[in-house]
Structure 1
Amino acid sequence: ELPLQNRLRLWGIELVSAAAFYWVVNWLFSSGLGITNDLLRRLSWIRWPISVRPIGFFAADHSRLIAVALVGLLLASPWILDGLLKWEYRQQSLSSRELKAFSPEGLRLLRRICTQRGWPLPELRRIPEAAPCCFSYGWHPRNIRIVVSQGLLEQFSAEETASFLAYEMAHGILWDLPVISGIGAVLLIVYQAYWRLARWGDRLKQPWLKYLLGAIASLCYGIFWLLRKISLELSRQRSTCADHTTAMLTGQPQLHQQCLIKLTRAISETINHHGSTPPLLESLDYLMPLSQRIALSPGSSADSREKLLSLLAWDYQNPYRFWLLWNLPQMPTGERLIRLEGYQSGSNISPKPSVTKTFGLKPAVAGNTYLPPLLLQGSPIIGALIGLVAAMGLWFIGGVSNAFNWFRISWFYQDPSIIKGFFLLGLGIGLLVRVNRYFPEMQSRPTQSLDLASFQKNPLRLPIDSQPTYLEGILLGRSGLANWLCQDFILRTANGLVRLHLLSGLGPLGNLSMQRHHPVEALGQTVGIKGWLRRGPTLWMDVQNIRSGRTNFSLSNPPLWTTLVGLGTCLWGIFILFKGY
């Protein structure tokens, strides 16, 4: 059984995630209504055929309404997710007889677990998709659903399928499904709005209507991106606890290791074959055993199990990896494999060849020579924290001065402009401090034919240790309005797949403009890309230029925009400080 302290920590993160999700949804809803009322107030000065004025309901407090709505969504989440998955992905029931044909061991395991706990057999669902995935949702053992894709049933053996089913049952045993199911229902509603609007807009010929739908779809994706961040810490903790419980339920930790290794390669092969990230893998990766973001590059850069394990050395050996996981829904795969190795050595199971030996290196020890790069990596956050500390210090000085009637500086006390101003000033300085190291000078002829496998193997790299390089390959990604924000671009090279981060020449907001040469026009073509390759928990490339033939599809300047954002933030903070409360 999972130790009690781990369970308590998991449940604590569930409560915090639920509170944070409520706060952000309430803020988004209230801000949206406030902006709408402000717009109506400005338009009310114009004569219209109908009365245009602010709506009283929009100005009221909706916190209780939001709380009731979210609780209602949580309680209805199993049926809401049933409907959404059936509508978009053609989800259908999977009978016990059909499961037995693919995995008799899986059916026996489900029956054993449910009999021991007096639970009914969970409702089984199948999605006819080639992408290998499985996930579960529900808030009580009587309404838990376990969903598997056709690709998982066909690509994995009967024993491996049983291990995945044990992983999903572990979530029910740990009681970690209620909150994540409610969050998942909201996220999938927003994601489906983005996807449907983008597909609808692609079919339209009127430019203004197409632009409108693209803008709304992009807004929906932005909301999905923001709300998904709230679920990531809970998702990581769920995954870690479920790995431990799966090893206990099956008695075969090495089987779960094998499943994760095979799933890494299967997901990358699916994306490579599909030519973009399937919506199913992106919209629900926080519910799945392995995110497509984690699997993409290592799974495509290795042609054998041993080479794949060597690429995962960073996951286990980088001494500062835990500071860089904020954007991942699961722990790095290498870390999970090592932990499963520990569960195996602590059981009465005959050990198979150790994955630890394949890594080849001992865990790196943090030293003073390595700490400065980590501080430089997090300099924007550190700068913001220093700004807050300085502001609180001035508040303290103001409070003491107020007690002694020193009125010339007593105004420091409880002045909110000091908090806001110093926070922004620290954040801006932090951005400026690291810009030269984060974007080293790009040579006229940067490094070519870089070996992606060797680049990924270095266990001491941080994202700030970037490599200016030039890569050639085929550009993959979504077409049309679904990729208007450039959120899904991948380069297929001879050595594997690399996710691309790119902006337009007009900066972040320029991605929303109807550019003449949008990178989606180069999809499926052989392109040359110049940029900065980075290694963290995942591999990605910040793009400076995409060129296909004689056409430049993206001429962005990340160092310039980072500098402008840093300077703008500093100036904003200084303006707030001079303006005062």
Structure 2
Amino acid sequence: MNTTADSERLLKAGVAAYKTGEYERAITALQPLLRNRAYRLKAGMGLVRVYMSQRNWREAQKLCEKIGQSSQPSVQQWSQDTLAKIEQRMAKASAVSPADNEAHHAAKGLSGFTPLSSVPEISIPPVSTATNSAKATGVYSKSSVASQKSVPPEDKLLEPKTAAPSIFHYAHLNNELAAEAPVSADTNPDISTEGGWHYSGRLKQGRSLGRIRTGKLWVAQLAGAVGFYFLARYLLNSAIAMLNGYLNFLSGLPLLGWIRPLPLHDATGYLLAALGVIAIASPWLWDLCLCLVGDRQSLSLNALRSCSAEAATLISQRCHQRRWPLPKLWKLSTDVPLIFSYGWLPRNARLVVSEGLLTQLEADEIAALAAYEMAQWKCLYWPILSVCSLVLHLFHQSYWQMALWGNRQGKLLNLTAGVVSTLSYGVFWLLQIPVLWLARVRTYYGDLTACELTGNPNGLIRALGKVSFGLAKAVENQGYTPALVESAAILMPVAADLSRYRLPGRYPLGQLYAWDSLNPVRDWMSLLDAHPPLGDRLALIATYAQHWKLDTELSFKAKTPSRKQRHKGLRQQDWLRLLSQGTPYFSAVIGLVIGMGLWGVGAIGDKLDWPFFAWMHKDVGLFQCCILLSIGVGIILRINRFFPDLSFEQPPSTDWTDWLSEPELLPVESVPINLSGTIFGRPGIANWLGQDLLLKTSDGLLKLHFFSAVGPISNCFRLGQRPAVPIGSSVQLLGWFRRGNRPWIDVDKIRLGNGLMLSAAHPIFSLATATIFSAWGLWLLLKSG
């Protein structure tokens, strides 16, 4: 709601409507208050009573169960008592005859209102109970203080003096919650609420945080756009060359001489034209895509205002100040919490939110994310990401829809659809690589601007954390990663936090994000991710709150490195650990340097007419063999360290959640893990490459890498088992836990419930890869000269 006065007005209107029997009006007034932290218990309890009066037992039961999820024992007790009454009345209602029903309604009168005094469980608890509850939590609510003074509690002021006991007999609990979520800067950070969030304070309005350097962003924008274009050009020309080679082969066969290759060898002009059309039409093409796959609906500013008045006001004011037209608002009918925007100018901006986001986040958190999205509309990277994400989405949808169709077909069509969908996914995965750095870098600038617009860094911290946990919960509920979550990843503000979404409450949030904020090489561990480590962002946003003298939403036990320390670069021991982690990649760089050195020596020899050296300048194979041999040697050097011995005899790894918070852990420090759980993932040919294999445990989800000796591509040729791991099976898993930006397990063995053992061969695959690179390099070396 916009103000406390508005919330009070709606609450009074709902109570008054309930007392006069106008139940629909009461529901309309009370439902918006479910999103208001200070009034949600009052509104929820009131709605339960309204639904019970309507004899809408199902809705009353569902809402009462939701209220019972509160961490406060008194609320849980109220929920249990009320649920018992609801179940009792449901049982009676099923046994009551129609005549009895008519008599019952006649006894209630035309208003449909049943006096509350006839219901024993709604009596107001004694004043001493409220006082003791306040003392136990360390929070004195308005109602408990008022009780000690002989002044009527605030909730009683909403009722006529002759009214029956309040339907909100636990109303003081709402005030306790309100005390835990103040809007000023004097919040007590030690008071923790549901989900581990403190609901720390904010500024009344935004302030500037000073000028920031944008050099890194400009470099990322240029690199992303140029890299995306040249990679797309290379893939397109390679595809044309392969197709022409195949057509030439067919034309040489009997009776097929009429086949001719395509009269096209360089598609640069066509690619530029296509990208230009996509760029101009991207807002409308995105609209069409969301209409087809996302069930998008128009969302008015007034409808948004009912969920977050601050967000609606912010959008309106920001557009008025900048002289922008109001953006189009789309709502997706899904419980997955989604928010992103696209367009190439503010005047054709689209802001997309989902039903799940509007229901799972508080009003100020929705506003913080809206500010984050609007911060991009004046930046160059926004149209770049909009265009690139649209191209990626088209390839991903080609993969996803073809896979779903192929899963319903016979053997031949299934195989054909599998090959096409796998190729489409491969193109999607490759094309996203050039823009991943840009997608990561822009998040920090968006975070800063969002804080400046709202003055609510703590709200942004909660919003990002809740969305990451909500996305992970959606993956658990669906059993696989939703297609739109992956295809629109570079537009989303945050990724799914699969391994930590069940841990808030068991661990302090600051401890959960320790690796993200303290690991010195965390940025290097995120090179293939669309988002930086979330804890790194949250720690930086927390410094904005500290700058404004606000209590921070997260408290990190260890001090995070300052900006000056981060700019100094890595220490020597950090470089050594990074070298150990990326041995094959650093070896490739060393091979490149050696190859360029030999090429330079050959150029000098050619210039000085020294034939003994001149040949190296003209032999490309020598340059290539240096790189290939270096990669092969690098992989071999890392194998033993990367794959230590394992055994099912080792005890279950019940403490794997502690490894998430170990700041110094790297993927190369392979931790043997023995876990039991359920295999999740995409169905059938949608998972040929094993791109979406997950292990669901009681503590969360973990990404799985399951490779045969020929690698993940073996599934496409039926060289391995397909599916390599049966989806939905309860299994015991043995592998190597690796801590990166997104933790994962390299699987060694999987034991099914029936005793069948599935063996992966990741070490053999790595050794085979090293052998191929080394043999290829040696062959080129022997051909050289």
Pairwise TM-score range, normalised by the shorter structure? over 0.9
The equivalent of 2:768 in structure 1 is 564
Instruction: Return the offset for 1:539.
Output: 0.8
Instruction: Return the offset for 1:513.
Output: 3.2
Instruction: Name the CA distance, whole Å, in 2 between partners of 1:385 and 1:9.
Output: 23
The equivalent of 1:298 in structure 2 is 500
Instruction: Name the CA distance, whole Å, in 2 between partners of 1:148 and 1:182.
Output: 19
Are 2:465 and 1:267 aligned?
Answer: no
Instruction: Return the offset for 1:522.
Output: 2.6
The equivalent of 2:509 in structure 1 is 308
1:452 equivalent among 656, 659, 662: 656
Are 2:262 and 1:55 aligned?
Answer: yes
Instruction: Name the CA distance, whole Å, in 1 between partners of 2:219 and 2:674.
Output: 46
* Aligned residues of 2:393 and 2:487 also touching (Cα < 8 A): yes
1:182 equivalent among 387, 390, 393: 387
Instruction: Name the CA distance, whole Å, in 2 between partners of 1:283 and 1:359.
Output: 36
Are 2:226 and 1:28 aligned?
Answer: no
Instruction: Name the CA distance, whole Å, in 2 between partners of 1:7 and 1:91.
Output: 35
* Matched AA of 1:549: G
2:402 equivalent among 197, 203, 216: 197
1:351 equivalent among 539, 543, 550: 550
1:140 equivalent among 335, 341, 345: 345
Per-residue CA deviations over 1:39-84 (Å, capped at 9, x if unaligned) read: 1111222123671232223x3x211221121111111111111101
Distance of aligned partners of 1:305 and 1:112 in 2 relative to their CA distance in 1, 3 Å threshold: farther
Per-residue CA deviations over 1:349-397 (Å, capped at 9, x if unaligned) read: x412452x34345559965555433211111111111111111221222
Instruction: Return the offset for 1:418.
Output: 2.0
Are 2:715 and 1:511 aligned?
Answer: yes
Instruction: Name the CA distance, whole Å, in 1 between partners of 2:683 and 2:379.
Output: 40
Distance of aligned partners of 1:245 and 1:370 in 2 relative to their CA distance in 1, 3 Å threshold: closer
* Aligned residues of 1:438 and 1:464 also touching (Cα < 8 A): yes
Aligned pairs (5 A) from 1:522-537? 522-537=726-741
Aligned pairs (5 A) from 1:414-563? 414-443=618-647, 445-514=649-718, 517-519=721-723, 522-550=726-754, 552=756, 554-563=758-767
The equivalent of 1:158 in structure 2 is 363
Instruction: Name the CA distance, whole Å, in 2 between partners of 1:552 and 1:220.
Output: 33
* Aligned residues of 2:679 and 2:725 also touching (Cα < 8 A): no
1:473 partner SS: strand
Instruction: Return the offset for 1:479.
Output: 1.1
What is the total number of aligned residue pairs between the two structures?
Answer: 572
Are 2:10 and 1:10 aligned?
Answer: no
Distance of aligned partners of 1:187 and 1:417 in 2 relative to their CA distance in 1, 3 Å threshold: same
The equivalent of 2:460 in structure 1 is 256
* Aligned residues of 1:134 and 1:149 also touching (Cα < 8 A): yes
2:246 equivalent among 39, 45, 60: 39
Q: Which stretch of the first structure deviates more once superposed, 95-104 or 358-367?
A: 358-367
The equivalent of 1:328 in structure 2 is 529
Instruction: Return the offset for 1:492.
Output: 0.9
Instruction: Name the CA distance, whole Å, in 1 between partners of 2:490 and 2:432.
Output: 8
Between the aligned residues of both structures, percent identity stands at 35
1:245 equivalent among 439, 442, 449: 449
Which structure 2 residue ranges, 5 or more long, are not aligned?
1-207
* Matched AA of 1:304: G
Which structure 1 residue ranges, 5 or more long, are not aligned?
none
1:405 partner SS: coil
Instruction: Return the offset for 1:256.
Output: 0.5
* Aligned residues of 1:401 and 1:410 also touching (Cα < 8 A): yes
* Matched AA of 2:539: I
1:373 equivalent among 577, 598, 602: 577
* Matched AA of 1:286: I
Aligned pairs (5 A) from 1:381-420? 381-420=585-624
Distance of aligned partners of 1:273 and 1:169 in 2 relative to their CA distance in 1, 3 Å threshold: same
What TM-score does the superposition give when structure 1 sets the normalisation length? 0.94
* Aligned residues of 1:397 and 1:413 also touching (Cα < 8 A): yes
Distance of aligned partners of 1:3 and 1:390 in 2 relative to their CA distance in 1, 3 Å threshold: farther
Instruction: Return the offset for 1:265.
Output: 2.0
What TM-score does the superposition give when structure 2 sets the normalisation length? 0.70
Instruction: Return the offset for 1:346.
Output: 2.3
* Matched AA of 1:359: K
Instruction: Name the CA distance, whole Å, in 2 between partners of 1:115 and 1:23.
Output: 39
Are 2:299 and 1:97 aligned?
Answer: no
Instruction: Name the CA distance, whole Å, in 1 between partners of 2:227 and 2:552.
Output: 43
* Aligned residues of 2:223 and 2:434 also touching (Cα < 8 A): no
* Matched AA of 2:292: W
Instruction: Name the CA distance, whole Å, in 1 between partners of 2:710 and 2:756.
Output: 14
* Matched AA of 2:430: L
Are 2:520 and 1:319 aligned?
Answer: yes
* Matched AA of 1:240: Y
Instruction: Return the offset for 1:199.
Output: 0.8
* Aligned residues of 2:327 and 2:350 also touching (Cα < 8 A): yes
2:214 partner SS: helix
Per-residue CA deviations over 1:104-159 (Å, capped at 9, x if unaligned) read: 11100101111111111111000101110100000001100000011001111111
The equivalent of 1:171 in structure 2 is 376
Q: Which stretch of the first structure deviates more once superposed, 332-341 or 398-407?
A: 398-407
Instruction: Name the CA distance, whole Å, in 2 between partners of 1:127 and 1:230.
Output: 29
**Higher RCO structure (Cα 8 Å, ≥6 apart):** 1
1:448 partner SS: coil
Instruction: Name the CA distance, whole Å, in 2 between partners of 1:149 and 1:296.
Output: 20
Instruction: Name the CA distance, whole Å, in 1 between partners of 2:598 and 2:556.
Output: 54
2:494 partner SS: coil
* Aligned residues of 1:106 and 1:165 also touching (Cα < 8 A): yes
* Aligned residues of 1:109 and 1:166 also touching (Cα < 8 A): yes
Instruction: Name the CA distance, whole Å, in 1 between partners of 2:755 and 2:250.
Output: 43
Instruction: Name the CA distance, whole Å, in 1 between partners of 2:363 and 2:269.
Output: 48
Instruction: Return the offset for 1:443.
Output: 3.2
Alignment RMSD, CA only? 2.1
* Aligned residues of 1:253 and 1:341 also touching (Cα < 8 A): yes
2:371 partner SS: helix
Instruction: Name the CA distance, whole Å, in 1 between partners of 2:545 and 2:694.
Output: 37
Q: Which stretch of the first structure deviates more once superposed, 557-566 or 501-510?
A: 501-510
1:299 partner SS: coil
Instruction: Name the CA distance, whole Å, in 2 between partners of 1:387 and 1:176.
Output: 34
Instruction: Return the offset for 1:202.
Output: 1.1
